């Protein structure tokens, strides 16, 4: 069946007028109304809780509103304030710093762990897979409280070990705020390492075993197998984790919020974009300004994702 015949069958013949196409479309919808009724709950919920908040937040970003009084239209003033706000740029720096420093060892470590587990070098694969994935399903609040105890200044586990080996304890939350970001990064890596490992493991299991067997027969070492077989075939999966990591890094909230709160710690060292957005919206009730921050974060996510696709995606096809 050619394209024209197919178009005629579904009522979209290009020779028909708009009115006739609309009439045929309505007939098609009426004929399949039962199917549309069954799938309608998803679209209704999406419109109410997905599309509407996105559109309404965009509208709010051009207004000054505290959630109670009448909105006052101010145009691009929120976006102009945002660009000149040093606290906003501090949160951008913190977010990018935490995201880049955390995701490089996290993704690399997850890839190496997945490769080792998939290679058959170790036994009890399911046990290790479960152990590494447990932090992902653990509550972020509970984990943050535990790590606050671990990084405690006086009675923390890390400082206790440092004292035993003769080193100076670290003031994780004081001083100039230098150690705030490393503490958040350690927690972030610990929590999400297993998630990326499972994704890489799924990708590795899709690579034909014959390739590894042939390389082994030819005498290829494990590093060479990893560089010349595993990495090239796993690049689409790596791109997927890079984009997911971009979203995760720019929207990190639970860990810094639980560890340093909305004040961001000493010198705002732990203030991320999402924590700053939360503070502006729900503490200072600047909903218009917070909405503009949300849209700027969305723009950052899109831009960095496009860069990842441009630099990694096209070369892999």
Domains of the chain, by residue range, sit at 3-80, 84-316
State the burial class of residue 96 (Cβ atoms within 10 Å of its Cβ: 0-12, 13-18, 19+): middle
pTM (2 d.p.)? 0.82
Q: Closest Cα to residue 262, out of 253, 280, 277, 275?
A: 275
- Report the first-to-last Cα separation within the chain, whole angstroms: 31
Torsion, Cα 249 253 257 263, to 10 degrees, reads: 80
Q: Tell me the Ramachandran region of residue 105: left when phi exceeds 0, alpha when psi lies from -120 to 50, beta otherwise.
A: alpha
Four-way CATH pick for 84-316: 1.10.3720.10, 3.90.180.10, 3.30.70.330, 3.20.20.70: 1.10.3720.10
Predicted pLDDT of residue 7 = 46
Among 80, 71, 32, 99, which residue's Cα sits nearest to residue 245?
A: 99
pLDDT of residue 6: 46
Token pair recorded at residue 128? 């290790």
Inter-CA distances, 170 with 143, 176, 194, Å: 20, 12, 28
pLDDT in 10s for each residue of the chain, 317 residues? 444 444 444 444 556 777 888 888 888 888 888 888 888 899 899 999 989 999 999 999 999 998 888 899 999 999 999 999 999 999 999 999 998 899 889 999 998 888 888 876 777 777 888 888 888 888 888 888 888 889 888 878 898 998 899 888 888 887 778 889 999 999 999 989 989 999 998 888 888 888 877 887 877 777 888 888 888 888 889 889 988 888 888 899 988 998 888 888 888 889 999 999 999 999 999 999 999 999 999 999 999 888 888 877 655 44
Q: Which pLDDT score, from 0 to 100, does residue 104 have?
A: 87
Q: What's the pLDDT score for residue 292?
A: 94
């Amino acid at each position: 069946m050619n394209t024209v015949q197919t178009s005629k069958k579904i009522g979209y013949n290009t020779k028909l007028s708009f009115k006739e196409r609309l009439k045929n479309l309505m007939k098609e919808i009426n004929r399949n109304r039962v199917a549309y009724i069954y799938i309608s709950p998803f679209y209704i919920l999406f419109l109410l809780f997905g599309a509407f908040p996105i559109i309404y937040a965009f509208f709010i970003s051009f207004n000054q509103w505290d959630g109670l009084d009448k909105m006052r239209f101010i145009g691009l003033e929120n976006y102009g304030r945002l660009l000149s706000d040093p606290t906003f740029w501090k949160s951008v720096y913190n977010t990018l710093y935490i995201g880049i420093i955390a995701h490089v060892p996290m993704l690399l470590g997850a890839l190496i762990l997945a490769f080792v587990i998939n290679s058959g070098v170790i036994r009890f694969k399911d046990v290790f897979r479960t152990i590494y994935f447990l932090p992902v399903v653990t509550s972020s609040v509970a984990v943050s409280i535990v790590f606050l105890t671990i990084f405690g200044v006086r009675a923390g586990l890390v400082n206790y070990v440092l004292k035993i080996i003769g080193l100076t304890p670290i003031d994780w939350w004081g001083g100039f705020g230098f150690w705030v970001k490393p503490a958040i990064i350690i927690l972030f890596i610990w929590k999400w390492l297993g998630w990326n490992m499972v994704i890489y493991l799924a990708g590795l299991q899709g690579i034909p075993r014959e390739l590894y067997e042939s390389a082994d027969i030819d005498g290829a070492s494990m590093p060479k197998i990893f560089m010349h077989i595993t990495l090239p075939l796993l690049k689409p999966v790596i791109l997927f984790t890079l984009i997911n990591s971009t979203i995760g890094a720019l929207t990190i909230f639970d860990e810094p919020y639980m560890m340093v709160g909305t004040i961001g710690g000493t010198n705002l060292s732990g203030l991320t974009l999402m924590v700053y957005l939360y503070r502006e919206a729900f503490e200072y009730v600047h909903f218009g300004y917070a909405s503009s921050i949300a849209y700027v974060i969305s723009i950052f996510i899109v831009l960095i994702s496009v860069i990842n696709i441009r630099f990694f995606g096209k070369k892999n096809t």
